Chain A
Amino acid sequence: MGELRLMKGNEVLAEAAIRCGCDGYFGYPITPQSEVMETLMLRQPWNETGMVVLQAESEVASINMVYGAAGSGKKSMTSSSSPGISLMAEGISYIAGAELPCLIVNVQRGGPGLGTIQPSQADYFQAVKGGGHGDYKLIVLAPASVQEMNDFVDLGFELAFKYRNPAMILTDGALGQMMEKVELADFKPRWTDEEINEKWGDWATTGKPSSRKKNVINSLEMDSDIMEANNRRFQEKYKQMEKEETRYELFQCDDADFIIIAYGSSSRVCQKSVEIARAKGLKVGLLRPITLFPFPNKIIAELARKAKGFLSVEMSAGQMVEDIKLAVYESGRNTRVNHFGRTGGIIPTPSEVVDALEDKFSWELSYGVKRSY
């Protein structure tokens, strides 16, 4: 068993980065995630593992530093919160276009604009639909505990390098600021230059030896036929992710009439809602997507056969609910999908969610059957 500690989500992101052999972190302060870089600077990993930590002049610069480092086959990452991620959108699009593996963490706060520093999940669209320009996807992981904040750093890098694609940990201020018991991973050594040459020598800019052609990290292509072929290749990659990387967790869904779908900190609130609802005699279950892209369409389609309704619970005005509706639509079922959310940095309470469920599905609850549209 690894070392047990009580840590904040933000602190754990830093510790996990050091332990998983990350080569470089580039960031810019923004609440509520500043503890990530602060923890790294205090830990001074350059003395321990050789990991580099640099405070950039802006989020624009930090994401481009990640681009440069990732282009050299190094494990590099950045973290920010919503407004900072908007600034990074350009760089993330270039990283996706140049097919570079890296890890981006968004500890979300409420928006739009400067918004609030309190937690939110209103950057769902930005994370799962691309966010910057062009057709691209990020691998999006949504931790629901401090332990998963730890585990998904290593997992994020693993998936990023497997697919040569940026991965994002989409979390929020609640998980960033919250402390829980966490079992830390053992230290993994950073890749040596030889290992990088061996693993990624066919694309990484390591300096051109006579033994290979030059490597060029690039997203530009003036020939439309080639550019379309590139896009097709990206889409194939995203399909493969859908096939192989979809992750989710089910709570008490076997006999459930109603299924709450929630991720991250909302899913924690909703676990309690399930307990409250069950105590009232309502058969309620919870589906927690762990990957937001790829989205767990298949299990939703399967659950739609039996369930009388889905309730998407998000700290947003309703974003993931659209993907749930698409999944139900593609399943050919007519199960009703509703949304309940709080915005502005407010986290819904467990009983509020149960009230919303009873209210929005009052028809189904009174007649005991599925209501068709």
Chain B
Amino acid sequence: MELKDLIKPENLVYDKTSILEDEPMHYCPGCSHGVVHKILAELIGEMGIQEKTIGVAPVGCAVFAYRYLNIDWQEAAHGRAPAVATGIVRLKPDNFVFTYQGDGDLASIGTAEIMHACNRGENILVIFINNGIYGMTGGQMAPTTLEGMVTSTTPTGRNIDLNGYPMKITDLIAQLPGTSYVTRQAVHTAAATLKCKRSLKKAIENVLDKKGTSFVEVVSTCNSGWKMTPVGANQWMEDNMIPYYPLGDLKDSVKGEHKSEN
């Protein structure tokens, strides 16, 4: 049988969404970013919201996110994506606006912006990639770096006396009445990825229904920064990251309600 005989609609088992550009990604093999990009792109396609979506890219490994999804984008300064998204959504309330931020961007330099955007209940989706390290700049300590974890700025491991504690910023975010849906997910297995996609879908629906801020943390791997194989990184994340950053919904309500699960 020839290859051309196989390429027929009835034999199609998987179709790449057109929202995902045919652009080779710069992410390291094994990195979680690619998977999150893919499920986000699929959702934008499946939900038919390409025309109303405006993404805000961060500074960090996802700085080039605008290359990979075929939607309108704004590239924000380091940590400022929630303020940029606020400016867009306040003036264009019928658009779907999301930020895509890493742990250095969101939980360190941009702490004020994320806290206040969530506290105002800006009607946006925040996707928070937490891999416990600064990937882009070469593996320095992040606010979410675990105790004892070796990075290029904690070569003997994160020392609590010197560096303070790994920050559970999503737990803080869940306390803010402006947020409606706050969850922590992962994409290291097929099952986790499907679950994460369901969470993202719900978060997007909440924003489309103008329920306030939805916040999806994705506990992620950085096998390059962690100096591990992709498989080893997945295992290390399960053994070390997830016990400290447990997966699941932290809050599922509407803006203004203080009800909190967990």
- Interface check A72, CB cutoff 8 A: yes
Shortest Cβ gap from A182 to chain B (Å): 28
Cα separation A56 to B90 with both chains bound (whole Å): 12
Cα separation A24 to B85 with both chains bound (whole Å): 14
Contacts of B70 in A (CB 8 A): 208, 214
Residue in B50, B87, B115 whose beta carbon sits within 8 Å of that of A68 in the complex: B87
- Interface check A180, CB cutoff 8 A: no
Contact A218-B66, Cβ < 8 Å, known A65-B90, A205-B73: yes
* Residues 32-71 of A at the B interface (beta carbon under 8 Å): 52, 54, 56-58, 60-62, 64-71
B-facing mask of A194-230, CB < 8 A → 1, else 0? Answer: 0000000000011111100011111110000000000
Contacts of A23 in B (CB 8 A): 91
Q: How large is the interface on B (under 10, 10 to 19, 20 to 34, 35 or more residues)?
A: 20 to 34
Contact A207-B83, Cβ < 8 Å, known A23-B91, A60-B112, A218-B66: no
Shortest Cβ gap from B65 to chain A (Å): 10
A-facing mask of B52-80, CB < 8 A → 1, else 0? Answer: 11101000000100100011111111001
Contact A52-B91, Cβ < 8 Å, known A65-B86, A68-B56, A218-B66: yes
- Interface check B227, CB cutoff 8 A: no
Shortest Cβ gap from B216 to chain A (Å): 20
Q: Do B83 and A24 have beta carbons less than 8 Å apart?
A: no
Number of A-B contacts (CB under 8 A): 129
- Interface check A253, CB cutoff 8 A: no
Shortest Cβ gap from B36 to chain A (Å): 19
- Interface check A267, CB cutoff 8 A: no
- Interface check A166, CB cutoff 8 A: no
- Interface check B168, CB cutoff 8 A: no
- Interface check B92, CB cutoff 8 A: yes
Cα separation A24 to B93 with both chains bound (whole Å): 13
Shortest Cβ gap from B121 to chain A (Å): 13
Shortest Cβ gap from B136 to chain A (Å): 12
Interface size on A, residues (CB 8 A): 39
Cα separation A70 to B90 with both chains bound (whole Å): 12
Q: Do A60 and B66 have beta carbons less than 8 Å apart?
A: no
- Interface check B113, CB cutoff 8 A: yes
Contacts of B73 in A (CB 8 A): 205, 214-218
Contact A54-B72, Cβ < 8 Å, known A61-B112, A74-B91: no
Surface stretch bound by B, among A90-98, A106-114, A274-282: A90-98
Contacts of A60 in B (CB 8 A): 80, 83, 112-113
- Interface check B204, CB cutoff 8 A: no
- Interface check A161, CB cutoff 8 A: no
- Interface check B203, CB cutoff 8 A: no
Q: Do A68 and B66 have beta carbons less than 8 Å apart?
A: no
Cα separation A255 to B76 with both chains bound (whole Å): 53
* Residues 276-305 of A at the B interface (beta carbon under 8 Å): none
Q: Do B112 and A58 have beta carbons less than 8 Å apart?
A: yes
Cα separation A216 to B95 with both chains bound (whole Å): 16
- Interface check B142, CB cutoff 8 A: no
- Interface check A121, CB cutoff 8 A: no
B-facing mask of A71-115, CB < 8 A → 1, else 0? Answer: 110101000000000000011001000100000000000000000
Shortest Cβ gap from A290 to chain B (Å): 30
Q: Do A220 and B75 have beta carbons less than 8 Å apart?
A: yes
Q: Do A207 and B87 have beta carbons less than 8 Å apart?
A: no
Shortest Cβ gap from A131 to chain B (Å): 15
Contact A207-B77, Cβ < 8 Å, known A61-B116, A65-B90, A68-B83: no
Cα separation A60 to B74 with both chains bound (whole Å): 17
Cα separation A208 to B95 with both chains bound (whole Å): 11
Cα separation A215 to B50 with both chains bound (whole Å): 12
Contact A65-B84, Cβ < 8 Å, known A24-B91, A209-B51: yes
- Interface check B88, CB cutoff 8 A: yes
Cα separation A76 to B72 with both chains bound (whole Å): 19
Q: Do B90 and A24 have beta carbons less than 8 Å apart?
A: yes
Q: Do A208 and B51 have beta carbons less than 8 Å apart?
A: yes
Shortest Cβ gap from B180 to chain A (Å): 20
Residue in A52, A64, A218 whose beta carbon sits within 8 Å of that of B83 in the complex: A64
Contacts of B115 in A (CB 8 A): 57
Contacts of A91 in B (CB 8 A): 77, 80
Residue in A205, A207, A210 whose beta carbon sits within 8 Å of that of B74 in the complex: A205
Q: Do B74 and A71 have beta carbons less than 8 Å apart?
A: yes
Contacts of A52 in B (CB 8 A): 90-91
Q: Do A207 and B52 have beta carbons less than 8 Å apart?
A: yes
Cα separation A70 to B86 with both chains bound (whole Å): 12
Shortest Cβ gap from B59 to chain A (Å): 8
Closest residue of B by beta carbon distance from A94: B77
Shortest Cβ gap from A360 to chain B (Å): 44
Closest residue of A by beta carbon distance from B59: A220
Q: Do A207 and B53 have beta carbons less than 8 Å apart?
A: yes
A interface residues, Cβ below 8 angstroms from B: 23-24, 26, 52, 54, 56-58, 60-62, 64-72, 74, 76, 90-91, 94, 98, 205-210, 214-220
B interface residues, Cβ below 8 angstroms from A: 50-54, 56, 63, 66, 70-77, 80, 83-88, 90-92, 95, 112-113, 115-116
Q: List 5 A-B contacts (CB under 8 A).
A: A56-B83, A70-B87, A206-B72, A216-B75, A218-B66
Instruction: List 7 tightest A-B contacts by C-beta distance, closest first.
Output: A68-B87, A65-B87, A64-B83, A68-B84, A205-B72, A57-B116, A69-B87
